[in-house]
Amino acid sequence: MTKRFLMHKRLILVIVWLILVILSLRIGVLDFTFKKLFSGDLEAQEVLLVSRIPRTVSIIIAATGMSIAGLIMQSISRNRFISPTTAGTTDAAILGLLLGYLLFNHLNIYQKTLIAFAFSLLLTGLFLMILRRIRFKNVIYVPLLGMMYGALISALSTFIAHRYQASQFLSTIGVGGFHHLAQGTYELLYIIVPVLIVAYLYANKFSIAVLGEDFAKNLGVSYQTVTIVGLVIIAMVSSLTFVTVGMLPFIGLVVPNLVSIYYGDHVKKTMIDIALFGSAFVLLNDIISRLVVKPYEVPVSFTMGITGAVIFIWLIFRRMKRG
């Protein structure tokens, strides 16, 4: 593909992204128009500043973080069909929050994030260790193993919840959506920004990690250090997003794969495109969630589960067709 063709695709992506941002600011339960805003209407200004802008910014940050976390996980695992939602990372966060609730009863949002981070880091690292010991002839088996691993963690969470009468608590966590974000909550997502800066600085090393441990050593790159940094980034982004927003299914899986079709596998060169495409994907699903049963909303995890599953199935058939 020529450089001119890629720039054309990128321009279209930026335009689509801007349109979705404007629609996200415009659409909602409360009456809001840009005409009222520009005429000095105080209520319109309050709706924009208190509700629409924080929600849209939260979507962009969370979507960008989860998309890049998926890209990093695919790089260090050397598999295109793996992501935080198909490797037990989010299920590990749920288990951590459940145990934290049972042990300490009441936790603030920062304590929840730390517990979710610790369990995500530990159990995701365990899954990657399992992957390194198993050699699959077909990479499509990897997400299946990841889903089995996540189901095992989820079953453990369900057992503990039933055993200690915490089923109601378990049913309330993990449903993804941006409608419940309030001041003092969504600001936690801003921590993702410096984490993404670290990811950008390590981008070239993640690209080298895709080539394997021996190749990385020959280039003077510590494969173990890159893997640990990648795991910390994945766990941090996943836990922050999960505690603040909830589960965002398939985004870390489908977005890096779709972008790589046009831009290749170079981590640093594709990060901006993945950020734009990932946030556009979640913005679109969030807008659909607001319109399906207007004036009510359905969780964005519901719409993303449908659209993401369709894209995932298409990616599998595309991979099988190309051998």
Cα–Cα distance measured from residue 91 to residue 83, given in angstroms and rounded to the nearest whole number: 12
Q: Across residues 133-155, what is the average pLDDT? A: 77
Give the chain's mean pLDDT. 83
Quote the DSSP letter at residue 249.
T
- Are 256 and 267 a contacting pair, CB within 8 Å? no
Percentage of the chain lying above the pLDDT 90 cut: 23
Cα–Cα distance measured from residue 209 to residue 125, given in angstroms and rounded to the nearest whole number: 16
CATH topology of domain 3-321: ABC transporter involved in vitamin B12 uptake, BtuC (1.10.3470)
What pTM was estimated for this model as a whole?
0.86
Q: What are 162-200's pLDDT values in tens digits? A: 988 888 888 777 666 676 665 556 778 889 999 999 999
Q: Specify the residue for token string 């779709």.
A: 258
User: 31 pLDDT exceeds 80?
Assistant: no
Q: What pLDDT shows up at residue 315?
A: 85
Half-sphere exposure of 144 (CA within 13 A, CB side): 7
Helix intervals (H) in the chain: 3-26, 34-38, 42-47, 53-77, 89-104, 109-133, 141-163, 167-172, 192-201, 203-209, 213-218, 223-244, 251-263, 267-292, 300-321
Cα–Cα distance measured from residue 258 to residue 180, given in angstroms and rounded to the nearest whole number: 30
Q: Across residues 203-214, what is the average pLDDT? A: 80
Q: Which residues fall within 8 angstroms of residue 90, CB to CB, at 6 or more apart?
A: 84, 120, 150, 174, 238, 242, 247
- Are 234 and 214 a contacting pair, CB within 8 Å? no
Q: Across residues 94-111, what is the average pLDDT? A: 87
User: 137 pLDDT exceeds 60?
Assistant: no
Q: Which of 164, 288, 303 is nearest to 246 (CA)?
A: 303
Q: Across residues 232-261, what is the average pLDDT? A: 88
